[in-house]
Amino acid sequence: MEVIIQETSTIHPSNPPFDHPHTLPLTYLDTDLNLNVTFRYFRVYANQSQHQPDPFNVITTAIGTALGPYYPLTGTLQRTVGGWFELYCTPGKGLPIIRASMDCSLESLNYLDDPDNTLAESLAPNPGTTEAMKHPMILQLTLFKCGGYVLGSAVHNMLCDGLGASEFFNGVAELARGATQLPVEPVWDRATLLGPREPPRVEFPFDELLSLDKEFSPYLQNVGPTVRVCVPVLEKCLDRFKEYLFERSGSRFTTFEALGAFIWRARVKASNIPNDTKVKFAYLMSIRKLLSPPLPRGYWGNGCMQMYVQLTAGEVTHQPIWETATLIKNSKYNATDEYVRSYIDFQKNNYDKGITAGKEVSGFTDWRHIGHSTVDFGSGGPVTVYPLSKHFLGSIEPCYYLPYSSNDKGKKDGDGFKVLVCLREFAKDEFMVEMDKFSRLEF
């Protein structure tokens, strides 16, 4: 079985939004060097009706309408002489979409709930560096014999974060279902809303977590072959673990904090990282509402702040797990308007020096509640959402919290969710041993 590429076409805005070339500014949050990656993922749609219209025509028509207000998605990322990135927009440019097919049913592939790596990689565009700058969003629609389809996306992280991309796709979905306009008008005003202060003022010691290294590229680290593993997380196990943490610490923890601490420990332990090596737990925290004033609802640029917890590998593997969870919990309290503004000013002062979080970064992100699963083009939402990117927040080993596929047999509401973890191939077996302990309530 293989994906057959049939054609690549271009979706143009149905109503050309401008008639002259121009550039659009990006923020220091957009152009953070840790976000200089293309994010790849796909959504799986089952055939819900024998009379379902051609999804390719439905989706491309809706995208053409959405590309009026979202025309920056057709722009080109370019680097200025000073090393700064900006978006160059020219009339007549559009968004590439690949049309493909597979001669099998989605059911025969278990709706791609935990797909073979080779097949998964072929279901979303995988542009090289130059192509990704020229076309910061590329789509692929793969039709299956059963009438279902997969919509794969490659979106450059400099244009938007996960929330921003979900805002776009949910808007397209509403148009596909018959809406005459987008539910939320997109807002670009990035330089004004998240520009640096004059003069810049850095009030937090970011240099304790971040280093300046122009030669270091976080995504070129050589740790050997890596693999993806999908692990179920049952609600009863998670609830018991949270109670375990509460009994020993007196604090209540969110799912993200508690499970993140456990997976971080399991990964560090399985990877045989020397005890004295500094390791980082990295995640994004939305700043849309905590800024003063808050960002407008239609803001679809990078509206998240990178947060870090730093320990030695020995501390992660040997200290009580609730102490690690407490550090993750407390790190959120740093995120204030002043913290964000200081970070933007820190970027302005040091951008050309190369700001990096260094090696041994574990990136964590929760995809259960940011709108990926609500994208309904008229025949129901996706049954599976699956990220492909192994590069995230300077990490080459990210962890995603994902909802169960709606086609999982025997899974009901309240049965939990799953995590997709990227890790070193040699660490897989020991990592799974640690995760089995979680399932057996051996904390």
What mean pLDDT is predicted for residues 389-401?
Answer: 93
What mean pLDDT is predicted for residues 35-39?
Answer: 91
How far apart, in Å, are the Cα atoms of 147 and each of 54, 62, 93?
A: 9, 20, 31
Provide the pLDDT for residue 409.
Answer: 43
Provide the pLDDT for residue 104.
Answer: 96
What's the pLDDT tens digit per position in 310-351? 999 999 999 999 999 999 999 999 899 999 999 999 999 999
Provide the pLDDT for residue 80.
Answer: 87
Q: Domain-by-domain residue ranges, the chain?
A: 4-194, 209-439
State the residue for tokens 């004295």.
276
The Cα 281–Cα 307 span in angstroms is 8
Q: Is 305 within 8 Å of 332 (Cβ atoms)?
A: no
pLDDT-derived band at 51, boundaries 50, 70, 90: confident
What's the pLDDT tens digit per position in 192-241? 999 999 999 999 999 999 999 988 998 988 899 999 999 999 999 999 99
pTM to 2 decimal places: 0.94
Provide the pLDDT for residue 366.
Answer: 95
Lowest mean pLDDT among 53-67, 130-144, 149-163, 398-412: 398-412
Q: Which of 3.50.40.10, 3.40.120.10, 3.30.420.10, 3.30.559.10 would CATH assign to domain 209-439?
A: 3.30.559.10
What's the pLDDT tens digit per position in 353-392? 999 999 999 999 999 988 888 899 998 999 999 999 999 8
Give which of 126, 138, 65, 130 is closest to 95, Cα–Cα.
Answer: 138
Q: Is 219 within 8 Å of 396 (Cβ atoms)?
A: yes
Give which of 341, 224, 252, 247 is closest to 291, Cα–Cα.
Answer: 341
Share of the chain above pLDDT 90, in %: 85
Those residues whose C-beta lies under 8 Å from the C-beta of residue 133, and which sit 6 or more positions away, are: 76, 77, 78, 156
Provide the pLDDT for residue 414.
Answer: 52
Provide the pLDDT for residue 187.
Answer: 96
**Which is it for the CA torsion 73, 336, 290, 199, positive or negative?**
negative
Q: Which two tokens stand for residue 130?
A: 């130059």
The Cα 297–Cα 370 span in angstroms is 14
**DSSP secondary structure of 84-152:** -EEEEE-TT--EEEEEEEESS-SGGGGGGSS--HHHHHTTS----HHHHHH-SEEEEEEEETTS-EEEE
The Cα 279–Cα 31 span in angstroms is 24
Burial of 130 (0-12, 13-18, 19+ CB in 10 A): exposed
User: SS in 3 state form for 193-204?
Assistant: HHCCCCCCCCCC
Q: Please count the other Cβ atoms lying within 10 Å of the Cβ belonging to residue 12.
A: 16
Q: Backbone dihedral region of 185: left (phi > 0), alpha (psi from -120 to 50 degrees) or beta?
A: beta
Kind and range of the H or E run holding 271: none
* Strand ordering across the sheet containing 149-156: 4-11, 95-102, 137-144, 149-156, 38-45, 384-387
pLDDT-derived band at 413, boundaries 50, 70, 90: very low
Provide the pLDDT for residue 36.
Answer: 87
Provide the pLDDT for residue 407.
Answer: 58
Instruction: Please tell me if the domain spanning 4-194 has the same topology as the one spanning 209-439.
Output: yes
Provide the pLDDT for residue 127.
Answer: 97
The Cα 329–Cα 261 span in angstroms is 10
Verify cis geometry, omega within 30 degrees of 0, for the bond prior to 199.
yes
Verify cis geometry, omega within 30 degrees of 0, for the bond prior to 127.
no
Q: Please count the other Cβ atoms lying within 10 Å of the Cβ belonging to residue 98.
A: 19
Residue 415 above 80 pLDDT? no
What's the pLDDT tens digit per position in 55-102? 999 999 999 999 999 999 999 999 988 788 999 999 999 999 999 999
Residue 368 backbone dihedrals phi, psi, to 5 degrees = -75, -25
Residue 265 above 60 pLDDT? yes
Residue 154 corresponds to which amino acid?
A
The Cα 59–Cα 375 span in angstroms is 11
Lowest mean pLDDT among 45-49, 110-114, 263-267: 45-49
More confident residue, 273 or 443: 273
The Cα 299–Cα 297 span in angstroms is 6
Q: Is 141 within 8 Å of 56 (Cβ atoms)?
A: yes
Q: Which fold has domain 4-194?
A: Chloramphenicol Acetyltransferase (3.30.559)
Radius of gyration of the chain from Cα atoms?
A: 22
